Chains A and B, each alone.
Chain A
Amino acid sequence: MTIRRDQTAGLVLDAQLHLLDRQVLDRDGVPVSTVDDVEVGGIRPGEPVDPAAPPPVITDLLVGTEIATRIFGGRPPASRRMPISWRLVSDVGTVVRLGVAGDSLDAGWVERWVSEHIIARIPGGRHDPE
């Protein structure tokens, strides 16, 4: 079978290479989480694909709880997923940058909880290194 060459305009992202496991930073450069999976809208499992329909698009980046199931299989319940809407993404490079402050996202609750309840109890954990 003949292999054809593509000429694609726009930024090409291969999900495994360019999205999964990338660190997510908020608009101030503060780490929020890492990309553990991606929600793709517009695919109906088991139903024929309508060639006239618009192509599926990334709707959310899923962070926080997906890494274990990517390794060991299965999936966490939908209620445990922490989505970050694609509309909040401002750039995809070596890291994924958001256009909003991390404090406004639920995705960072684990980091906030750890920071407030564990790191803060460590001597020196409440201020920057001197």
Chain B
Amino acid sequence: MILSDLIGAQVADAEGTHVGTVVDVRFVIDGNPGQLLADARLAGLLVSPHGRSSTWGYERSGATGPWPIAQWLRWLHRGLFLVHWEDVSMVDVGRVALRAGYERHDAALGPRTSDG
């Protein structure tokens, strides 16, 4: 599956209630060592209850400027949460279903150790 099939997918809980849209996919490089870099495992999906896309990440970082844009994007993505891959029950093109009792995690990014 390619990433474009996941981003923008509608997310529903186990009862079929719409909970948001996948606006990004979080990977963590902590897998089995590869030839050069370890595997990048899919850690979870970032789900926004209100926004449909997020390309700048204001709502996940401490960036504050330009102030009007930062404030608007934070408001647009209020309630953004990370759902772990273990809480995903099914993925289809444009559609994601979560398990019963899934947990919402803070989507904030920590300080990066790389230069990106």
Contact = CB atoms under 8 A, between A and B. Distances in A.
Interface residues of B, number: 53
B29 A4 contact: no
B14 interface: no
Chain B interface SS verdict (over half): mixed
Given A11-B28, A13-B26, A38 B116 contact: no
A129 interface: no
Given A14-B24, A15-B3, A94-B115, A99 B35 contact: yes
A123 interface: no
Interface range on chain A (Cβ under 8 Å from partner): 35 or more
A12 interface: yes
Contacts of B7: 15-16
A120 interface: no
Contacts of B29: 10-11, 13, 92
A43 B45 CA distance: 13
A13 B40 CA distance: 8
Nearest to A86: B40
A11 B43 CA distance: 11
Contact of B34 (A11, A66, A75, A87): A87
Given A3-B81, A40-B3, A58 B34 contact: no
Interface of A: 1-6, 8-18, 20, 22, 37-40, 42-43, 45-49, 51, 54-58, 62, 66, 69-70, 75, 86-94, 99
